[in-house]
Amino acid sequence: MKDKLMIDSLFTDTLLSGGVVAFPTETVYGLGADAANLEAIKKIYELKGRPADNPLIVHIAELSQWSSFASEITDDALKLARAFWPGPLAIILKKKPEVLDVITAGLDSVAVRMPDHPLALELIKKTMPLAAPSANLSGRPSPTKAAHVEADFGHSVLVLDGGRTKVGLESTVIDLSSGRPVILRPGFIGKEDIEQVLGKSVFYASGSTPGQTPRSPGQKYSHYKPEAQVSWLKTETPGRFEENTLYLMQYASAAGKNVITYGGNLTLMARELYDRFRQADTDGFSKIKVAPLAAFTGQAVYPALINRINKAAGQG
């Protein structure tokens, strides 16, 4: 991926002239536009049907670009960036006054991350920092391959195809803009990973774990939803397997086209969760049932999976 000619100038020209481009990251595909161009960013909200009070993450390719957005890069923020960037962690700091309100939804803070994908990094280096939400219609599961973006937007959005994304769930969002570090959205980088780097306690915001009221604007909206109805199985295996249902399970007690088994590999489950959600719709399943994941609490991705499945199920 060292070849600097890999990205067709169509993509860079589109961004440079105020257009919108979908691009791959290690988490999910993003729908990017020039973070300094108001009209360009408005197009993102229009295309997605995204509520105006839900702020966007700014994607950068070099640490030096951060200071155009954050008013002060704190010691904790630098420690996390050095440990995890490029990578699936968005860091919220107090914003500079000149950062567009359309990015921050009027908040006094801004979320920034450096994605760990060669195409994303090259695209940003050749153009500018990109404001980018996930490249799905608002409320739909985030896209983990180019075909998902095309399914939601048809040919109205140019897609830079980088294959399947590696992580499959959106980045961890951590708020460092007030006194104590707070995780607003759990992701592949876990609370314990962050605590180890910071040498202090990190908290979950209400709403990022089950049964609480959200604090991050994005967490109050219905999310990650396929057409099929998502719910948790009460027990590890159902009494009876129904034909119209796709089962996502840790252990198979039955084989079949509609039973997907992970054997405790939550990383794999995270990677393909949204693809399974979308595939269920394509294949005509009316329900998706997920077996309990409680036995695997040690893995960093566990709270992120619970959070996304709960939201898809309309709980929390």
Where along the sequence are the contacts to ligand TXA (CB under 6 A)? 25, 27-28, 30, 54-57, 88, 90, 92, 104, 107, 109-111, 115, 132-134, 170-171, 173, 184-185, 216-219
Write the CA distances from 217 to 43, 133, 134, 190, integer angstroms.
20, 13, 15, 21
Per-residue binder mask for Mg ion (CB under 5 A), 94-133, x = binder: ---------------------------------------x
Query: Measured between alpha carbons, how far is 307 from 316 in angstroms, rounded to an integer?
Result: 8
Least Cβ distance, residue 260 to ligand TXA (angstroms): 23
Dist. CA 2–CA 119, nearest whole Å: 10
Q: Which residue has the tokens 């609490």?
A: 297
Q: How far is the CB of 48 from Mg ion (least distance, A)?
A: 8
Quote the least distance from Cβ 126 to ligand TXA, whole Å: 18
Q: Which partner, Mg ion, ligand TXA, none, binds residue 19 by CB below 5 to 8 Å per kind?
A: none
Nearer to Mg ion, 28 or 176 (CB): 28
- Helix (H, G, I), strand (E, B), or coil: what is residue 157? coil
Smallest distance from the beta carbon of 239 to ligand TXA, in angstroms? 37
**109: exposed, middle or buried (Cβ count in 10 Å: 0-12, 13-18, 19+):** middle
User: Which of 25, 65, 127, 134 is close enough to bind Mg ion by CB under 5 A?
Assistant: 134
Residue 245 binding Mg ion, by CB under 5 A: no
**Angle, in degrees to the nearest 10, between helices 191-198 and 75-84:** 120
Cβ closest to Mg ion, residue 87 vs residue 133: 133
Task: Give, in order, the Cα–Cα distances in Å from 188 to each of 36, 106, 168, 170.
Answer: 29, 28, 9, 8
Nearer to ligand TXA by C-beta: 28 or 157?
28
Q: How far is it, in rounded angstroms, from Cα 13 to Cα 142? A: 25
The least distance separating Mg ion from the CB of residue 306, rounded to whole angstroms, comes to 18
Dig out the tokens for 267 from the structure.
């990383």
**Which of residues 35 and 132 has its CB atom nearest to ligand TXA in the complex?**
132
Burial of 192 (0-12, 13-18, 19+ CB in 10 A): exposed
Select the residue whose beta carbon is closest to ligand TXA and give its number: 218
> Closer CB to ligand TXA, residue 60 or residue 230?
60
DSSP assignments along 25-90, one per residue: -SSS-EEEEETT-HHHHHHHHHHHT--TTS--EEE-SSGGGGGGTBS---HHHHHHHHHH-SSSEE
Given Mg ion, ligand TXA, none, residue 90, with its beta carbon under 5 to 8 Å by kind, binds ligand TXA
Instruction: Report which of 7, 18, 21 is spatially closest to residue 132, judged by C-alpha positions.
Output: 21
Q: Nearer Cβ to Mg ion, position 92 or 249?
A: 92
**Phi, psi for residue 53 in degrees, rounded to 5:** -95, 15
From the CB of 276, what's the least distance to ligand TXA, in Å?
18
Q: Which is nearer to ligand TXA, 132 or 260 (CB)?
A: 132
- Amino acid at position 168, single letter: G
Query: What is the closest distance, in whole angstroms, from the C-beta atom of residue 138 to ligand TXA in the complex?
Result: 9
Residue 217's binding partner out of Mg ion, ligand TXA, none, with CB under 5 to 8 Å set by partner kind: ligand TXA
Q: How far apart are CA 66 and CA 92, in angstroms?
A: 11
Least distance in angstroms from the C-beta of 244 to ligand TXA: 30
In the bound state with ligand TXA, the residue whose beta carbon lies nearer, of 133 and 186, is 133
Interface residue list for Mg ion (CB under 5 A)? 133-134
